[in-house]
Amino acid sequence: MDRRSMINTTATMAVGAVAGCALPGTASQAPKTPFSVADTFIPIVGSEMMFPVRRIYCIGRNYAAHAREMGSDPNREPPFFFQKPTDAIQNVPPGTVADHPYPSLTKNYHYEVELVAALHKGGRDIPVERALDCVYAYALGLDMTRRDLQRAMGDEKKPWEIGKSFDRSAPIGPLHVADAIGHFTKGGIWLKVNGQTKQKSNLSNMIWNVAEQISKLSQANELMAGDIIYSGTPENVGPVVRGDVIECHIDGLPNLSVKIV
């Protein structure tokens, strides 16, 4: 064995030691690291525990009228998903108006009010009938969007990540446990800017309900505890500017408010 292959073997063994842990790219026991990286958590109403966030999935164009306003034809074609980075979460306590920074690079910053489902278990190829068993809790969330960048990238057939996946693009209220509050299949959902109603619909208008979203998404990725799913926004998305106050609502959840600063 020459020196190079010995080095390679040693390196492979070292990688193998890490790969022996439960999941790709993650360790079952905290390894020693040169610095620490913050984990992301969402408060759980009625509990001292916090919900640890693994991944943020978002479904696109899940209300027919919103699909039309985005220039596509609403139908029952398979839903599509994108992700935001986990640390895009901005926790917003009920009864407060959190400062939400207007992000860089955009001149057309849009709100999208959405129901969020948080999972405490997952799996692959989850049948629709069992999908809601995976849902631990629900929250009210905003899928904030740099619409001009999303559109420009889409026009160029490039990934529109820069329009969706950026710092603090996912304001969210606390989680309400499904065992206590039930599952959300219908109910009013609205958003106001400076007291004026902008978005107003019903959760029953989703093209793919939460159970169907989980089932479809689990065909593409193994879902796991800690995953959360932004379930899409109704029509009449629009822009905000610094100083605007967004208030949003889903029947059965406390309102969520942010001020654009």
- Give CA–CA dist 57/166, Å, rounded: 14
| Residue 145 near residue 164, CB atoms below 8 Å | yes
* Strand 176-177 to 97-100 pairing: unpaired
Residue nearest Mn ion, Cβ-based? 143
Sign of CA dihedral 71, 75, 79, 85: positive
Does 233 engage in binding with Mn ion (CB under 5 A)?
Answer: yes
- Give CA–CA dist 170/45, Å, rounded: 19
Stretch that binds Mn ion, among 100-108, 111-119, 150-158, 190-198 (CB under 5 A): 111-119
| Residue 59 near residue 210, CB atoms below 8 Å | no
Chain position carrying tokens 């159970």: 211
Number of residues that bind Mn ion (CB under 5 A): 3
- Give CA–CA dist 58/26, Å, rounded: 23
What x/- string results for residues 41 through 60 when contact with Mn ion is judged by CB under 5 A?
A: --------------------
Please report, as residue ranges, which positions from 149 to 208 form the binding site for Mn ion (by CB under 5 A): none
**Among 53, 100, 112, 117, interactor with Mn ion by CB under 5 A:** 112
**Least distance from C-beta 32 to Mn ion, angstroms?**
39
Stretch that binds Mn ion, among 16-24, 85-93, 104-112, 147-155 (CB under 5 A): 104-112
Pick the closest to residue 135 from 218, 221, 220 (CA basis). 218
| Residue 141 near residue 172, CB atoms below 8 Å | yes
**Least distance from C-beta 230 to Mn ion, angstroms?**
6
Please report, as residue ranges, which positions from 123 to 152 form the binding site for Mn ion (by CB under 5 A): 143
Stretch that binds Mn ion, among 29-37, 63-71, 203-211, 230-238 (CB under 5 A): 230-238
Stretch that binds Mn ion, among 109-117, 124-132, 208-216, 240-248 (CB under 5 A): 109-117
> Would you tell me which residues interact with Mn ion (CB under 5 A)?
112, 143, 233
